[in-house]
Amino acid sequence: MNLNIAVLPGDGIGEEIVAQALEVTKAICKKFNHELTYKKALVGASAIDAVGNPYPEETHELCMKSDAVLFGAIGAPKYDNDPSAKVRPEQGLLAMRKKLGLYANIRPVTTFASLIHKSPLKDELINGADFMCIRELTGGIYFGRPQGRTEDGNTAYDTCVYTREEVERIIRLAYSYAKKRKNKLTIVDKANVLATSRLWRQVGQEIEKEFPEVETEYMFVDNAAMQLVQWLKRFDVIVTENMFGDILTDEASVITGSLGMLPSASIGIHTSVFEPIHGSYPQAAGKDIANPLATILSAALMFEYAFDLQKEGALIREAVDASMKEGVVTEDIATGKAYKTSEVGEWIVNYINNK
Ligand code: IPM
Ligand code: MN
In short, whether 246's Cβ falls inside 6 Å of ligand 1 is: yes
Distance between Cα 47 and ligand 2 center (Å): 20
- Beta carbons of 206 and 230 less than 8 angstroms apart: no
Ligand 1 atom, smallest distance to 94 CA: 7
Pairing of strands 272-276, 156-157: unpaired
Which of 103, 175, 190, 339 is catalytic? The answer is 190
For this structure, is 250 an active site residue?
Answer: yes
pLDDT for residue 151 = 86
CB atoms closer than 10 angstroms to residue 211: 18
Catalytic residue among 30, 222, 308, 311: 222
For residue 246, the ligand 1 atom closest to its alpha carbon is 10
Helix (H) or strand (E) holding 72: strand 68-73
Q: What are phi and psi of 330, to 5 degrees?
A: -80, 175
pLDDT tens over the chain, length 355 residues:
999 999 999 999 999 999 999 999 999 999 999 999 999 999 999 999 999 999 999 999 999 999 999 999 999 999 999 988 889 999 999 999 999 999 999 999 998 888 888 889 999 999 989 999 999 999 999 999 999 988 888 999 999 999 999 999 999 999 999 999 999 999 999 999 999 999 999 999 999 999 999 999 999 999 999 999 999 999 999 999 999 999 999 999 999 888 889 999 999 999 999 999 999 999 999 999 999 999 999 999 999 999 999 999 999 999 999 999 999 999 999 999 999 999 999 999 999 999 9
Q: Which helix (H) or strand (E) holds 220?
A: strand 215-220
Strands 130-136 and 104-110: antiparallel
Ligand in nearest proximity to the CA of 243: 1
Does 123 qualify as catalytic in the annotation? no
The pTM score is 0.96
Closest ligand 1 atom, residue 243 Cα = 11
Q: How many Cα atoms within 13 Å fall on the side-chain side of residue 304?
A: 19
Residues with CB under 5 A from ligand 2 (ion): 246
Nearest-CA residue for ligand 1 atom 1 is 277
Query: What are the angstrom distances between the C-alpha of 220 and each of 5, 103, 217, 241, 310?
Result: 39, 22, 10, 12, 35
Q: What is the predicted pLDDT for the residue at 74? A: 97
Q: Is the CB of 251 under 6 A from ligand 1?
A: no
